[in-house]
């Protein structure tokens, strides 16, 4: 299933947020490629189930701790002599964060600052940061990495953009090699959140009707997690801060996601109950499309379309 990156020299790698949906897949692939992995995660959204298949692997260790616990984080850095950090820890529960801004300030922004400080203190130079389309805000043109005037409309998007700003400063001050990848919606096995996950949960409770947030016309690109991991392993770490959109050219509406999930669950005649309005929740960007020319010309392209990614994720979640 996975395309393993060409085996470079074995590295000591920290994956922050490694017990989450995307982080656990990254852990699998980097261990397979022969690296030593330390996963730091407080399991506020992730789960041991995602990584427990590695517990006997001597190349893997798991530290259940809050990344913002600076003393403990420094101990982990001091013990492990990391050469690279993948920072995926964040609050991925956007709606919960929408009700309480301190969640995003803490789990999305402060985690980044704590990681950067620890990298600075321990001389670690390579960082991959999991960013998001939410940094662009609600822009209707094709989103280019060089776009200016970024005005996020959610605390989550704001915390990610503020993270990018701090990463820029640390990269410049410490001659770091940083890749920032702005993910679109990501789907696949081990989902912890999102429309596919929510719809399946709701339909298991009541297979006759489905509440759909908004008018169902929200339309976004969904990338299959294996494709995204390939992009994360493919892009080189070069001096400075290099920003890439990673995504797919196609997009899927929320109503289409409901249709795919119902088909995969073998359900017919499900009554859709739209809550109405063009957005699903405050801070939701109802429609966006990336300009992918930068990552495509670097030589990476996703293998699955948006609809295919959604269908594969639905199959894997059932
Ligand atoms: N899944 C998507 O569609 C998507 C889209 C754009 C960006 N991203 C970004 O990709 C990254 C991974 O997302 P995911 O979908 O795997 O989410 P996830 O919630 O499954 O993973 C995030 C992990 O971070 C951990 N975490 C959060 N705060 C922490 C803290 N203070 N200390 C230690 N651990 C903490 C959580 O327990 C969780 O395991 C996140 O940074 C997210 O913002 C995801």
Task: Say whether 40 sits in a helix, a strand or coil.
Answer: strand
Q: What is the pLDDT of residue 94?
A: 85
Instruction: Note whether residue 137 is domain-resident.
Output: yes
**CA 96 – CA 204 distance, rounded (Å):** 22
Instruction: Note whether residue 160 is domain-resident.
Output: yes
Instruction: Note whether residue 69 is domain-resident.
Output: yes
Instruction: Note whether residue 19 is domain-resident.
Output: yes
Does the CB atom of residue 46 touch ligand 1 within 6 A? yes
- Asked if 112 and 168 touch (Cβ cutoff 8 Å), the reply is no
**CA 256 – CA 235 distance, rounded (Å):** 32
Instruction: Note whether residue 211 is domain-resident.
Output: no
Instruction: Note whether residue 75 is domain-resident.
Output: yes
What CATH code is carried by the domain that includes residue 233?
A: 3.40.50.720
Q: Mean pLDDT of residues grouped by 10 in the chain (318 residues)?
A: 53 98 98 97 97 98 98 98 98 92 98 98 98 96 96 97 98 98 98 95 97 97 98 96 97 98 97 96 94 98 98 97
Residue of 88, 128, 288 to mutate, ligand 1, most atoms within 8 A of C-beta: 88
Q: What is the pLDDT of residue 8?
A: 57
Domain that holds residue 153: 12-187+225-249+288-303
In DSSP terms, 15 is beta-bridged to 39, 86
Instruction: Note whether residue 37 is domain-resident.
Output: yes
Task: Tell the residue nearest (CA) to atom 12 of ligand 1.
Answer: 88
Angle between helices 111-122 and 155-174 (to 10 degrees): 10
Query: Ramachandran region of residue 206, left (φ > 0), alpha (ψ -120 to 50) or beta?
Result: beta
Residue of 26, 45, 161 to mutate, ligand 1, most atoms within 8 A of C-beta: 45
Q: What is the pLDDT of residue 27?
A: 98
**CA 82 – CA 138 distance, rounded (Å):** 37
**Which run of H or E residues covers position 126?**
strand 126-132
Instruction: Note whether residue 272 is domain-resident.
Output: no
In DSSP terms, 185 is beta-bridged to 222
Does the CB atom of residue 45 touch ligand 1 within 6 A? yes
Please tell me the total count of domains within the chain.
Answer: 1
């Amino acid at each position: 299933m996975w395309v393993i990156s060409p085996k470079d020299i074995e590295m000591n790698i920290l994956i922050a947020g490694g017990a989450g949906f995307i982080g656990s897949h990254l852990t699998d692939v980097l261990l397979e490629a022969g690296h030593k992995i330390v996963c730091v995660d407080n399991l506020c959204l992730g789960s041991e189930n995602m990584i427990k298949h590695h517990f006997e692997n001597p190349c893997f260790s798991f530290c259940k701790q809050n990344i913002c616990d600076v003393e403990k984080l420094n101990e982990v850095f001091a013990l492990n002599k990391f050469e690279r950090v993948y920072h995926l820890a964040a609050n991925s529960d956007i709606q919960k964060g929408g009700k309480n801004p301190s969640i995003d300030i803490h789990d999305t922004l402060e985690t980044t600052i704590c990681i950067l400080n620890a990298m600075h203190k321990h001389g670690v130079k390579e960082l991959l940061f999991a960013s998001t389309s939410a940094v662009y805000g609600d822009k209707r043109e094709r989103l280019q990495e060089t776009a200016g005037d970024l005005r996020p409309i959610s605390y989550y998007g704001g915390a990610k953009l503020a993270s990018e700003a701090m990463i820029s400063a640390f990269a410049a001050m410490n001659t770091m090699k940083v890749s920032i990848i702005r993910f679109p919606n990501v789907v696949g096995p081990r989902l912890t959140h999102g429309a596919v996950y929510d719809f399946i949960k709701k339909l298991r409770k009541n297979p006759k009707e489905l509440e759909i947030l908004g008018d169902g016309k929200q339309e976004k690109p969904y990338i299959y997690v294996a494709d995204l991991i390939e992009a994360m392993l493919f892009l080189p770490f070069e001096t400075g801060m290099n920003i890439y959109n990673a995504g797919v050219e196609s997009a899927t509406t929320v109503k289409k996601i409901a249709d795919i999930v119902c088909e995969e669950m073998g359900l017919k005649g499900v009554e859709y109950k739209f809550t109405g309005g063009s957005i699903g929740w405050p801070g939701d960007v109802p429609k966006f499309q990336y300009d992918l020319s930068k990552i495509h010309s670097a030589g990476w392209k996703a293998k699955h379309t948006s609809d295919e990614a959604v269908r594969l994720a639905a199959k894997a979640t059932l």
